[in-house]
Amino acid sequence: MAVKKASVDFAKVADEVQRWGEMKQTGVSLKYMMEFGSRPTERNLLLSAQFLHKELPIRIARRAIELENLPFGLSEKPAVLKVRDWYLDSFCDVHSFAKIKDMHDELAFTEMIKMIKVRHNHVVPAMALGVHQLKKDLSPSVVPEDLQEIHQFLDRFYMSRIGIRMLIGQHVALHDPKPEPSCVGQINTRMSPMQVARAASEDARFICLREYGSAPEINFYGDPDFTFPYVPQHLHLMVFELVKNSLRAVQERFSDPDKDVPPIRIIVADGIEDVTIKISDEGGGIARSGLSKIFTYLYSTAKNPRDENNSQEHERVSMAGYGFGLPISRLYGRYFGGDLQIISTEGYARRGACRVKLTPFGDCFLKRSEKQEEWSAVELLLEEICCGGKETSRFLGMFPI
């Protein structure tokens, strides 16, 4: 089924969006995603598609409703209206898709949600542009703390976006005919945080080299052989954002070619409960007055944030933008029970650390033969949800998605 190109008028689908938005969504844990995804049989793929067919309209409808009712006139900003239309289009695509009965339907549904994921690739910069448009219209006397409702909405909105993309991405990845031996969908059961940190740092250095012509060196400390189960893309995003900020701070502080540029230090520490990745720089730190604002969506440490003319959908990543990088990265950390923190010594240095839970998946890595009964329970529960009513308050596991 092709994804529709034209945007849908909110008034035409308002009643249906409202009805689905009032339904209860079903939480899904990574543990259960691991167990279920470990056996991507046709039956399991069919159950997964049937579950998403009922779950995605609920989650998408809730976001569309919120986008229509934002305070301070944010809903009327052109960029936010564009995002709302994307959500309406996606709701209509999933909602209008016929009941999934066989693998032919399942494959068509998978292609459709794959296109929906692509449609929403640029939601973050579009929403950032909308907030930027709002800031220009606000009175100078309004400070970020006065816009707490906006911050709370954006936290909910982006956390929900992470969940929707995780559900879609996991289902699509289970169709990979040649998956990596250690991967179950998007989840790498033996992810090396050191390897991810190196890759993210190289990506950040490339951007720094492109924009400044040079980039500080980065030194790594930690056990390169340590692995644990996690979603590499999420950790990459968090480390990339922290390293990018450190590179920019050091590069701008030591712009004099006669000065020795101190390296950035990255420590990967594997504890009993958490894995901590600490990024330290000597970029001068952040003033105390600014430290309280860095996790808001209306603040950027950049001297000249991007303007609307440079914020097209296909723009390349830059060293500084609207200030959404850190708050969204923190949401990725918190999504699986971790966190992201910044500690600053003004005039000298800044330390950023992302902490992720060492065991977010519970005990799902026992041998398959020892988990047969639990797997059967997962399949039966999914089958009950997929074949039952549209509204459910069931929760599949400990960590909601």
pLDDT digits (tens, 9 = 90+) for 122-136: 999 999 999 988 988
Shared domain for 95 and 162, answered yes or no, is yes
- Could you give the 3-state DSSP secondary structure of residue 274? strand
CA nearest 110: which of 237, 61, 102? 102
Alpha-carbon distance of 45 to 171, in angstroms, equals: 8
Could you identify the residue written with the tokens 């797997």?
375
Shared domain for 163 and 16, answered yes or no, is yes
The answer to whether 374 touches 35, Cβ cutoff 8 Å, is: yes
The answer to whether 3 touches 93, Cβ cutoff 8 Å, is: yes
Asked whether residue 327 is assigned to any structural domain, the reply reads yes
Asked whether residue 1 is assigned to any structural domain, the reply reads no
Pairing of strands 264-270, 339-345: unpaired
Question: How many other CB atoms sit within 10 Å of the CB of residue 42?
Answer: 10
Asked whether residue 101 is assigned to any structural domain, the reply reads yes
Shared domain for 91 and 235, answered yes or no, is no
**What's the pTM value of the predicted model, to 2 decimals?**
0.82
Shared domain for 70 and 130, answered yes or no, is yes
pLDDT, the chain, mean: 82
Residues 6+ positions from 186 with CB-CB distance below 8 Å: 166, 169, 170, 173, 231, 233
Please tell me what DSSP assigns to residue 281: E
- Would the pLDDT of 25 be above 80? yes
The answer to whether 133 touches 127, Cβ cutoff 8 Å, is: no
Alpha-carbon distance of 307 to 303, in angstroms, equals: 12
Q: What is the CATH number of the domain that holds 207?
A: 3.30.565.10
Asked whether residue 196 is assigned to any structural domain, the reply reads yes
Domain count along the chain: 2
Alpha-carbon distance of 219 to 322, in angstroms, equals: 28
Crossing angle of the two packed helices 148-173 and 123-137, in degrees rounded to 10: 170
Q: What is the CATH number of the domain that holds 381?
A: 1.20.140.20
Q: Residue 145 has what pLDDT?
A: 66
Asked whether residue 2 is assigned to any structural domain, the reply reads no
Asked whether residue 87 is assigned to any structural domain, the reply reads yes
Q: Residue 395 has what pLDDT?
A: 39
- Would the pLDDT of 325 be above 60? yes
Q: Concatenated DSSP letters for 172-211?
A: HHTT-SS--TTEETTEEEEE-HHHHHHHHHHHHHHHHHHH
Shared domain for 294 and 377, answered yes or no, is no
Q: In the structure, what pLDDT confidence band is assigned to residue 4 with cuts at 50, 70 and 90?
A: very low
Shared domain for 191 and 249, answered yes or no, is yes
Average pLDDT over every residue of 162-188? 93
- Would the pLDDT of 275 be above 50? yes
- Would the pLDDT of 373 be above 60? no
Shared domain for 347 and 381, answered yes or no, is no
Asked whether residue 290 is assigned to any structural domain, the reply reads yes
Q: In the structure, what pLDDT confidence band is assigned to residue 306 with cuts at 50, 70 and 90?
A: low
Q: In the structure, what pLDDT confidence band is assigned to residue 285 with cuts at 50, 70 and 90?
A: confident
CA nearest 318: which of 207, 216, 181, 186? 207
Asked whether residue 401 is assigned to any structural domain, the reply reads no
Shared domain for 139 and 117, answered yes or no, is yes
- Would the pLDDT of 107 be above 80? yes
- Would the pLDDT of 309 be above 80? no
Could you identify the residue written with the tokens 């990024």?
279
Shared domain for 49 and 151, answered yes or no, is yes
Shared domain for 64 and 86, answered yes or no, is yes
Percent of the chain with pLDDT over 90: 51
Q: Residue 363 has what pLDDT?
A: 35
Shared domain for 281 and 315, answered yes or no, is yes
Question: How many other CB atoms sit within 10 Å of the CB of residue 19?
Answer: 13
Which residue did the predictor score with more confidence, 265 or 302? 265
Please tell me what DSSP assigns to residue 256: S
**Boundaries of domain holding 167:** 10-179+370-396
Pairing of strands 218-222, 264-270: parallel
CA of residue 210 relative to chain centroid, distance = 25
Alpha-carbon distance of 269 to 41, in angstroms, equals: 37
Shared domain for 76 and 168, answered yes or no, is yes
